[in-house]
A and B are shown apart, each in its own frame.
Chain A
Amino acid sequence: MKTDTIAAIATAMSDSGIGIIRVSGDQAFTVVDKIYRNKKNERVLTKYATHTIHYGFIVDINITEENETIIDEVMVTVMKAPRSYTTEDTVEINCHGGILMMRKILDTVIKSGARIAEPGEFTKRAFLNGRIDLSKAEAVMDIIHAGNEFALQSSVKQLKGSVSDKIRKLRENILYEIAYIESALDDPEHISLDGYHDRLSEKTESVSSELRALLHSADDGRMLREGINTVIVGKPNAGKSSILNLMVGEEKAIVTDIAGTTRDTLEEVISLGGITLNIVDTAGIRNTQDVVEKIGVERARKISADADLILYVVDSSLPLDENDRDIMRMIRDKNTIVLLNKSDLEEVVCEDEILKEIRNTCAALCEKVKIVKTSARMDSGMEEVMDLIREMFFHGKILYNDQVYITNMRHKEAIREALDSMNQVEKSLEMDMPEDFYSIDLMSAYASLGRIIGEEVGDDLVNEIFSKFCMGK
């Protein structure tokens, strides 16, 4: 059973030296106690005095096997209510920074019973518990509002089409069963539950196994379009597609081809030593009257606006022109790597010249830009580009879109809850409980899955009952 104890990564999602995972709520100590061991490998967290800090380890608890594996060496800070930011019991886990490590720990905290905090939730609690003053109220409401808008927009959008289809299907299946049970309960003289036990048993098993599969894919980050959104831009024929091919080709690990991308943009996912890049190749940008091409250019602008990283490909054998300035204005203040491509040809545009142009056109970009000479044809310079990306990422220059990750965590949480509910249904079936007990847990599973695709329960059940079953009178 989920408690109302919340957790989140409190520090920036970057490769800083130290990361903090904050856990707050009445179960904060119990939750962390399950996964924290002191240096003698003892479970002692709940015995610590308030406002003390302790050395120890976070372990991955695997309930089925009894062996625990150490995830990280940490310092935990224990703060008892009401002397904490939220005025609730709070534990802060200071771990080694590093995105993967922080995630792993947060994931473990969630598994042991906390839930992912909503945007602004720590502050909201601090405020509601009287900890912070009135002047902050407006700001807190805005954070929640903005976070919510973002979540509403992104959580469904980020979901891969195949995943949301699967979840819809599962929900439909579950709802049908609830409606069947409920209409039989409401109208026992018209609808009978004879022999239903076995049918539901089968159904439950198949739903559970699909949920388990989904959970695995969520664990591997395969549910969402997760990763650094990288966009390749440039004038036509600057060599953008060759660069893409090189990047994809060098990294043999193409995870997926995401279907549904437009004719004029191509999206690839590559993995760069633990970092996932979503690379989008866009149509060449130039001032054009051609309608179809115009649409492509417009789209490129849009995609670039959402990018975490821009790879700006410049044909160094041709002079810069108005189209280049257009592109620079479009990139504005994005993290950018300029690829002076076609370095095998005679150089017309040199590093200094492009920097000068950038300074003149869009000064803000100067600080965020790195320049590399490449030749797609000779396959030179790409190694340097890759190193640069890695470096920018690990030094926190490129901020990983942590919302996507958080969304993924929420989805996982929801699937886990749905799975728990289905297990409860199985248990009730085994114990031969009356049918009305099954529908309670089926409904919870239905509601949990709904959260993933942003759908409420509402009148779904009543509608399903009336549309699928012929009620009497």
Chain B
Amino acid sequence: MPKMFDKSYVQEKVDVCVVGAGHAGCEAALACARLGLKTVIFTVSVDSIALMPCNPNIGGTSKGHLVREIDALGGEMGKNIDKTFIQSKMLNRSKGPAVHSLRAQADKAEYSREMRKVLENQENLTIKQAEICKILTEDYNCYSGEECIATKKITGVMTFTGAVYECKAVILCTGTYLKARCLCGEAITYTGPNGLQAADHLTESLESLGIEMRRFKTGTPARMDGNSIDYSKMEEQFGDEKVIPFSFSTDPEDVQIDQVSCWLTYTNEKTHDIIRSNLDRSPIYAGIIEGTGPRYCPSIEDKVVKFSDKERHQVFIEPEGIHTSEMYVGGMSSSLPEDVQLAMYRTVPGLEHCKIVRNAYAIEYDCINPKQLYPTLEFKDIKGLFSCGQFNGSSGYEEAAAQGLIAGINASLTIFGKQPVVIDRSQAYIGVLIDDLVTKENFEPYRMMTSRAEYRLLLRQDNADLRLRRIGYEVGLVSEEIYTKTLHKKKMIEEEINRLKNTVIGAAKENQEFLTAHGSALLKTGTNLAELMCRPELSYEKLAEIDPKRTPLPDDVIEQVEIEVKYEGYIERQMRQVEQYKKMEKKKIPADLDYNDISSLRLEARQKLIAYKPVSVGQASRISGVSPADISVLLIYLEHYHRV
């Protein structure tokens, strides 16, 4: 039995304590330290900083968008993967620009090492290996005129050994470590991911502060010894010929490296038979697991049961790094017992003689219902307490990092006494992610998806810098030099679009010949270059032939010009929707509004509004159970409230 300290003592006074050094913690700590705050980042194991305990990649559909946005705001994830990737692909290239998504295979150990280096070299930042077991607060009375419902305020944290770190803000990013339990068939261990020490003490402290906890579950597949795999029975999957970096600051030349391959194989009826006949030994199907698992990353058991008509499922074999032969078996996460796992994996072509290095397992952990947070990621009830990542009920490295960055920024701004940053749904996937977390009922770890972003035509990975650099600059995480570059890029794009719209193309013979050559309809009257570019068969590049006045422009500028001109109609439609949306977001609701006062609200709506305490009418309208008529009532009440 572990034994806690006998006597606590004040170790140090700092500005911010970050609890956890995963992807959320790293971004949070870096943001605070870079903004000049004295910051300590705590981890149960310094060797696990920026650990990737599940899949060996960064990015992917919608997650790639998040990484780009993090980068535009001045975060680290994009730069770090650019330094440590071993394969890269732009997904969905054949589809619309809004859903192009960058995904890179990481060298996991390198990724972790590089991030650790960045942390170590960061001024104002201290790394400390310690388990935080208590959050320290004092009672708080909101001063008059302060819009506030907090009853407590952060004073510090305490470690397992009794050291107290006094601070002004705490950022919780405990990932899957709180009261973690790993399951591999009948075998249960009380550890965090990868056999790392769990954090068993903090939950109780949080509950005593009135924080509502819940339990979630996730899982990971086995890792194989690459030497035991027969790749000749699999399809090789290559990276892109020309690699595009994640970070807007990375020189594209620097990422043209020799890439490694991934491999594709399939399950078959034999695999499924083994799974089906051993379902009673799966902790999920036997009812031993109580947490809610994610539907988007189902275990192979789930896939076989739920999609029983599918004859085979894809299996991606992905390297875990360059200096290891371990391979990740994508698509086959499982919590079946070890002997069943081995039998099941060995039915897959190429894995007949495989050796498992690490077993697949399911993991359960404590996290919160994020409706307790403001969109700034601060707890409504506790001033100075912020949280992010899997602790907030999300899933994925990128989702975690995005929240970490915002939590770090807002903890800092709050300490400086400045207005916190809330990125809205029309500005970034980060906005969608956080708004969904704090506004909607989530019953499983939340994963970003492009379909969750209603304005996704505007929120492309290619324009994240144009959307967010300004915010990063204003916060202080983006340098003047970089921001000026972005402004310059913006100007070039606007000027070029204007030029295209104002360059008249007549029905002259050479123009008609050009159109014929490209299988495009002939002109009856004059038009302009922008109009021609909208034709599916024509592009900016092709139009060079009839556009002699063109000056050479950088690739990223041309890309923006092309997208904005080609999809103008659709983009404009979304911009109009955004206008409507913004109107409602701008109507703020005082934090201490008493909904019981508004008798015309339907009961269900009133209860929901009391539970969520939305910050704006817009947010209120997205809470399920609040109808448009309730919103009308609320609007009138607010008008009344403001006028009195």
- A residues lining the B interface (CB < 8 Å): 1, 4, 118, 120-121, 124, 127-128, 134, 137-138, 140-142, 144-145, 147-149, 151-152, 178, 182, 185-190, 193, 431-437, 439-440, 456, 458-459, 461-462, 465-467, 470-473
Contacts and interface: CB of A to CB of B under 8 A. Distances in A.
B636 A185 contact: no
A462 B452 contact: yes
A152 B630 CA distance: 12
Nearest to A438: B96
B55 interface: yes
A142 B457 CA distance: 40
A142 B633 CA distance: 8
Interface string B83-110: 0000000011011111100000000000
Interface string B601-644: 11000000000000000000000100111101101110110011
A470 B311 CA distance: 12
Nearest to A187: B61
Contacts of B567: 437
Interface string B169-186: 000000000000000000
Contacts of B630: 148
Contacts of A134: 640, 643-644
Nearest to B315: A472
Nearest to A149: B602
Contacts of A182: 449-451
Contacts of A434: 94-97, 99
Given A145-B633, A470-B310, A440 B449 contact: no
B629 A148 contact: yes
B634 to A, nearest CB: 9
A435 B95 contact: yes
Given A185-B92, A434-B95, A190 B633 contact: no
B296 interface: yes
Contact of A439 (B62, B331, B440, B451): B451
B598 interface: yes
B636 A124 contact: yes
Contacts of B601: 145
A439 B453 CA distance: 12
A245 to B, nearest CB: 43
Nearest to A143: B600
Contacts of A466: 295-296
Given A145-B602, A470-B313, 5 more contacts: A1-B576, A435-B96, A462-B449, A470-B306, A471-B298
Given A137-B636, A440-B457, A471 B598 contact: no
Interface in B586-605: 598-602
Contact of B331 (A147, A151, A473): A473
Nearest to B331: A472
A148 B600 CA distance: 10
A128 B91 contact: no
B371 to A, nearest CB: 15
Contact of B99 (A4, A127, A185, A461): A185
A128 B536 CA distance: 46
Contacts of A142: 600
B624 A456 contact: yes
Interface in B51-77: 55, 61-62
B140 interface: no
Contact of B636 (A144, A186, A472): A144
Nearest to A451: B628
B644 A436 contact: no
B639 A127 contact: yes
A473 B333 contact: yes
B330 interface: yes
A66 B543 CA distance: 39
B297 interface: yes
B629 A145 contact: yes
B316 interface: yes
Contacts of B633: 141, 144-145
Contact of B632 (A144, A149, A433, A439): A144
A178 B573 CA distance: 19
A146 to B, nearest CB: 9
B416 interface: no
B166 to A, nearest CB: 42
A472 B91 contact: no
A189 B313 CA distance: 11
B483 to A, nearest CB: 30
Contacts of A456: 624
B307 interface: yes
A120 B635 CA distance: 13
B490 to A, nearest CB: 25
B272 to A, nearest CB: 13
A182 to B, nearest CB: 4
A178 B61 CA distance: 17
Nearest to A459: B440
B45 interface: no
Contacts of B581: none
Contact of A437 (B306, B570, B599, B632): B570
Contacts of B502: none
Q: Which 10 pairs from chain A and chain B are nearest by CB?
A: A148-B629, A434-B96, A141-B600, A145-B600, A466-B295, A182-B451, A436-B96, A473-B297, A137-B640, A470-B307
